[in-house]
Amino acid sequence: MTEKLRIAVAADNAGVALKDALAAMLREDHRVTEVTDFGVPDATDDRAYPLLGLAAARAVADGEADRAVLVCGTGIGMQISANKVEGIRATVAHDSYSAERSIKSNDCQVLCLGGRVIGPELAKKIVAEWLGYEFDPDSASATKLGHITAFEHDHQLPTTADAAC
Ligand SMILES: O=C(CO)[C@H](O)COP(=O)(O)O
């Protein structure tokens, strides 16, 4: 990893404890230059997950952050929310292989976790590993992702010829 990463974090009240634990870890990581916390500040704040997750995902899409870690009860609501932001590729990943492939295959900028699904120590290990992965824009995976990006722009289904690679 050559450039240090700017990480956005956000959670609803079901994910705030895990979000705070991950933010503390990220602030200590030498590969991270900045952690921006989009809330919630504590579990008494009952704002719905899209209100937090969409703002963090927008920060990534706007180039204000490089990646985001979003936490709700399952991670699913955060994933759905973040993927509505143009240009964002977000995934839930509670295992190390999926987290790795989310970068290397899918160039996901957003990792979503479930505070009611995964314990803090495993989540910290997965996020620490995830920080170290980089997407190779010259890989075959980039061509596959190009079909998604093209659809996002023109809403036209790829042709069979396009889809062959
Ligand atoms: O996990 C959530 C959304 O995916 C959220 O933390 C709880 O949502 P709810 O089950 O709709 O209250």
ipTM score for this prediction: 0.98
- Distant-in-sequence, close-in-space partners of 23: CB < 8 Å, separation ≥ 6: 9, 35, 37
Q: Residue 148 is part of which domain span?
A: 137-165
Asked whether residue 145 falls in the same domain as residue 114, the answer is: no
Asked whether residue 44 falls in the same domain as residue 77, the answer is: yes
pLDDT at 162 over 80: no
CA angle 162, 158, 81 (to 5 degrees): 130
Asked whether residue 26 falls in the same domain as residue 105, the answer is: yes
Residue found by looking up tokens 């170290």 in the block = 132
Helix (H/G/I), strand (E/B), else coil: 164: coil
What residue owns the CA closest to ligand 1's atom 7?
73
User: Considering its fold, how many domains does the chain have in total?
Assistant: 2
Asked whether residue 86 falls in the same domain as residue 141, the answer is: no
What residue owns the CA closest to ligand 1's atom 9?
73
- Regarding the beta carbon of 14 and ligand 1, being less than 6 Å apart is answered yes
Asked whether residue 13 falls in the same domain as residue 56, the answer is: yes
Asked whether residue 150 falls in the same domain as residue 125, the answer is: no
Using a 10 angstrom Cβ sphere, with 0-12 exposed, 13-18 middle and 19 or more buried, the burial of residue 97 is exposed
Strand runs labelled E in 13-134: 32-37, 67-72, 90-92, 110-114
Spatial separation of the C-alpha atoms in residues 107 and 88, rounded to whole Å: 9
Q: Say if CB 117 and CB 94 are below 8 A apart.
A: yes
- How much is the pLDDT for 159? 84
Mean predicted lDDT score pLDDT of the chain:
96
Whether this prediction's pTM lies above 0.80 is answered by: yes
Asked whether residue 72 falls in the same domain as residue 141, the answer is: no
- Regarding the beta carbon of 79 and ligand 1, being less than 6 Å apart is answered no
Asked whether residue 130 falls in the same domain as residue 143, the answer is: no
Asked whether residue 103 falls in the same domain as residue 86, the answer is: yes
Residue found by looking up tokens 């990581």 in the block = 29
**Band (161; pLDDT cuts 50, 70, 90):** low
